[in-house]
């Protein structure tokens, strides 16, 4: 097995609401991202993808709290660290994080170079403005952004350019891993592609060693990542290679998600799009058995009541369902024949 | 004559210019189109290409600067308030941002009762109105009993989107303009929304017009596709023609830049 950049074991985090209710949005999540690899996280909105991204950094602030589990980044266990230390020595250096809608959060009255000064000075207060500029210029050019962006205000940049700038700033300290939450969802297809190309470049040139990529857009996820984890109601319900997740999903929820894929490719018009009825459960009171049971068309009496473990089926594959692999595949094949 | 296609909406040289002088933006630039009854149409373009502006003109919310719009083959006349109200019995829209469609101060009951009133049901007995609202809500998997007395902003994004469709269920327009109906929701809810719109089409004989940046969605749902770039229709035709055998470089680029699952996504082109 090659070197794990990020390893997470049984991580559980929760929100505590104003009404003192606990919401376990990340529930015993384990994952491993190896050097040179990218991991995708899929799931409907509200399933806990963004909370997982936040939780992975080991940096918690109300209403989000750490409950249990371990986070090991490049061999170093950061789970017990206090938030201040995490902020100083982990964020930006070890883990870079691009939150959802990050590009809209840029302060409009600051030039791009000022953000970079802030990032670099926080890391090394002795650095001069001139040094920052030279470093930033070299870095921007290396990642394919024109250096004149540095002297611009965010409003002067197009959406795609703004997003690429945000990404460049966030990885300027060469972190081990980048966590990107829906980094291209608001962009046109061409800008989206440029963002993805940049991320790919960052990996290829070693500016980052691994990546976690979150999006609900499955064709995009499929094209960007090596492996895909499907999340449902705070839990991982399937882990697989991107190809397996899309073309041979095992969990009925993953199967449902893949049935909602729309791409402009021949044959698509003949496939019936499947919608999963209902909505994800309320995480204040998740169902005690399989959390997907109430929406699952293959539900059995045994699904309800006792919780379902993540079943490891080898080759890095796992899924959380009581129905055996072969039986699931047979059911799906039968369904497919019915739908043509 | 009966099997001949009937025009529902068409336009010649339809143009919208915002501002003057150096501030001038030609948002929609001399577009021609023929939308037929019962046919599903998609207008596809990137952001800023003029889709929403065109939708607003079709709906009669803003005036065209130049050109003519025809409704059922006749030049459209919505000059008076009364004529506009009549027109809106035939054509309705759902927008990307469900918030914008609702008056923030109206409760959900009021939103739905307004629809019944618009269809001339204002004088119906209360129980019958409740039955109609209940039916509309259950069509979109919402429970009317749980919604009364709530405000639209108290609903989740997906619920708001479905409430919009419940409105359409009550309004029963001939034409529905759906401007980015699924761009704020995930793929799974998108499938649900599309399902509902298609069911409405079959049940009330509505002609949906999809306005979207999602070329995959356009391919999946439509009979005819119009590709819009900088306010112009650069290519149009049947979905198979336009999407599988595009002629224009712009259409080719859009298709090339969309991530797919069978064909390789070539990053070298950007
Ligand atoms: N600040 C918060 N306070 C309380 N609950 C929250 C907060 N943010 C998110 N949640 C809840 O956590 C769950 C997971 O949300 P999120 O991680 O944003 O999902 P996703 O990114 O998959 O859409 C949801 O049920 C959501 O309502
Ligand atoms: N009310 C307005 N005043 C001035 N310009 C406008 C107005 N509405 C839209 N525009 C401009 O018209 C163009 C087309 O916009 P829009 O129709 O919203 O495109 P789309 O819906 O395809 O994203 C854009 O350049 C936009 O800035
Ligand atoms: Mg999210
Ligand atoms: Mg628009």
Residues B253-267 pLDDT 10s: 999 999 999 999 999
Q: Which residues of A touch B (CB under 8 A)?
A: 44-45, 159, 188-190, 192-194, 196-197, 200, 216-220, 222-224, 246, 256-257, 259-266, 268-269, 273-279
**Chain B: closest CA distance from residue A64 (Å):** 21
E strand residue ranges, chain A: 4-16, 22-34, 38-42, 64-73, 76-77, 95-98, 177-181, 210-214, 227-232, 235-241, 311-314, 317-319
- Which bound ligand lies closest to the C-alpha atom of B44? 2
Positions in chain B whose pLDDT score sits under 70? 1-3, 97-104, 184
Helix (H) or strand (E) holding A244: helix A242-247
- What are B136-169's pLDDT values in tens digits? 999 998 999 988 889 888 887 778 888 999 999 9
Nearest to A216 among B141, B158, B186 (CB): B186
The burial class, CB within 10 Å (0-12 / 13-18 / 19+), for B201 is: middle
Q: Give the per-residue pLDDT at A105.
A: 82
Q: Give the per-residue pLDDT at B159.
A: 84
What spacing in Å lies between the alpha carbon of B100 and ligand 4's midpoint?
Answer: 13
- Yes or no, beta carbons of B259 and A263 under 8 Å apart: yes
Q: Give the per-residue pLDDT at A329.
A: 97
In chain A, whose CA is at the least distance from the CA of B219?
A264
Q: Give the per-residue pLDDT at A185.
A: 86
- Which bound ligand lies closest to the C-alpha atom of B228? 2
Positions in chain A whose pLDDT score sits under 70? 1, 340
Residues in chain A closer than 8 A to B257 (CB atoms): 189-190, 192-193
The burial class, CB within 10 Å (0-12 / 13-18 / 19+), for B143 is: exposed
B208: DSSP letter: E
Non-local CB neighbours of B93 within 8 Å, separated by 6+ positions: B55, B59, B176, B177, B178, B179
Report how far residue A220's alpha carbon sits from residue A216's, in angstroms, rounded to the nearest whole number: 9
Architecture (CATH level 2) of domain A4-102+175-338? 3-Layer(aba) Sandwich (3.40)
Report how far residue B15's alpha carbon sits from residue A172's, in angstroms, rounded to the nearest whole number: 46
**Chain A: closest CA distance from residue B45 (Å):** 9
Q: Give the per-residue pLDDT at B3.
A: 62
Name all residues whose Cβ lies below 6 A of ligand 1.
Answer: A 15, 17, 23, 25, 43, 45-51, 63, 283
Q: Give the per-residue pLDDT at A102.
A: 87
| Domain ranges across chain A | 4-102+175-338
- Yes or no, beta carbons of A264 and B218 under 8 Å apart: yes
Mutate to test the pocket of ligand 1, among A26, A46, A212 (most ligand atoms within 8 A of CB): A46
What's the ipTM? Answer: 0.92
Cβ A305 vs Cβ A289: under 8 Å:
yes
CATH of domain B78-256: 3.40.50.300
Q: Which residues of B touch A (CB under 8 A)?
A: 46-47, 141, 157-158, 185-192, 194-195, 213-220, 239-240, 243-244, 253-255, 257-263, 265, 267, 269-270
Nearest residue (by CA) to ligand 2, atom 11, is: B27
Report how far residue A129's alpha carbon sits from residue A151's, in angstroms, rounded to the nearest whole number: 13
Q: Give the per-residue pLDDT at B100.
A: 63
Cβ A194 vs Cβ B258: under 8 Å:
no
């Amino acid at each position: 097995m090659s070197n794990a950049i990020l390893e997470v074991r049984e991580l559980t985090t929760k929100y505590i609401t104003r009404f003192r209710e606990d919401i376990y949005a990340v529930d015993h999540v384990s994952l491993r991202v190896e050097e040179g690899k990218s991991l995708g996280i899929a799931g409907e909105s509200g399933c806990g993808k963004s909370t997982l991204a936040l939780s992975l950094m080991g940096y918690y602030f109300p209403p989000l709290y750490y409950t249990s589990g371990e986070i090991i980044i490049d061999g170093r266990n950061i789970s017990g660290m206090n938030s201040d230390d995490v902020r100083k020595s982990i964020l930006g250096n070890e883990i870079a994080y691009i939150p959802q809608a990050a590009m809209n959060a840029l302060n409009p009255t600051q030039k791009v170079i000022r953000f970079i000064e802030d990032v670099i000075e926080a890391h090394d207060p002795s650095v001069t403005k001139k040094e920052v500029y030279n470093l930033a210029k070299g870095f921007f050019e290396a990642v394919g952004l024109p250096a004149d962006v540095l002297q611009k205000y965010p409003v002067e940049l197009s959406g795609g350019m703004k997003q690429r700038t945000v990404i460049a700033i966030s990885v300027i300290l060469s972190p081990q891993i980048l966590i990107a939450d829906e980094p291209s969802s608001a962009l046109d297809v061409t800008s989206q592609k440029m963002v993805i190309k940049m991320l790919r470049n960052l990996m290829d040139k070693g500016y980052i060693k691994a990546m976690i990529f979150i999006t609900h857009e499955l064709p995009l996820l499929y094209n960007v990542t090596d492996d895909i984890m499907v999340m449902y109601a705070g839990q991982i319900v399937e882990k697989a290679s991107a190809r397996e997740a899309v073309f041979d999903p095992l969990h009925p929820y993953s199967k449902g998600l893949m049935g909602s894929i729309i791409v402009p490719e021949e044959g698509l018009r003949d496939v019936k799009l499947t919608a999963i009825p209902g909505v994800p459960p309320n995480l204040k009171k998740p169902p005690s058995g399989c959390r997907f049971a109430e929406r699952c068309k293959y539900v059995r009496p045994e699904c309800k009541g006792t919780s379902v473990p993540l079943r490891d089926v080898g080759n890095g594959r796992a899924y959380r369902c009581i129905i055996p692999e072969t039986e699931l595949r047979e059911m799906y094949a039968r369904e497919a024949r019915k739908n043509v | 004559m009966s099997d001949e296609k009937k025009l529902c909406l068409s336009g010649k040289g339809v143009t919208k210019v915002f501002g003057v002088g150096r501030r001038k933006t030609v948002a929609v630039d001399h577009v021609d189109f023929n939308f037929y009854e019962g046919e599903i149409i998609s207008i596809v373009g990137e952001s800023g290409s003029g889709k929403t502006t065109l939708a607003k003109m079709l709906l009669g919310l803003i005036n065209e600067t130049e050109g003519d719009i025809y409704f059922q083959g006749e030049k459209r006349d919505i000059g008076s308030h009364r004529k506009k109200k009549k027109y809106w019995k035939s054509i309705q829209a759902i927008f990307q941002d469900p918030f914008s469609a609702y008056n923030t101060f109206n409760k959900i009951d009021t939103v739905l009762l307004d629809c019944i009133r618009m269809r001339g049901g204002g004088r119906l007995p209360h129980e019958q109105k409740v039955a109609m609202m209940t039916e509309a809500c259950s069509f979109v998997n919402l429970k009317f009993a749980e919604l009364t007395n709530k405000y639209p902003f108290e609903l989740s994004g997906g619920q708001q989107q479905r409430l919009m469709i419940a409105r359409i269920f009550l309004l029963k327009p001939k034409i529905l303009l759906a401007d980015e109906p699924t761009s704020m929701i995930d793929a799974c809810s998108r499938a649900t929304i599309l399902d509902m719109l298609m069911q409405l089409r079959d049940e009330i004989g509505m002609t949906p017009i999809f306005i979207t940046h999602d070329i995959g969605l356009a391919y999946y749902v439509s009979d005819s596709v119009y590709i819009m770039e900088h306010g112009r229709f650069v290519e149009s035709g049947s979905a198979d023609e336009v999407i599988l055998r595009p002629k224009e470089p712009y259409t080719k680029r859009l298709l090339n830049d969309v991530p797919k699952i069978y064909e390789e996504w070539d990053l070298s082109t950007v």
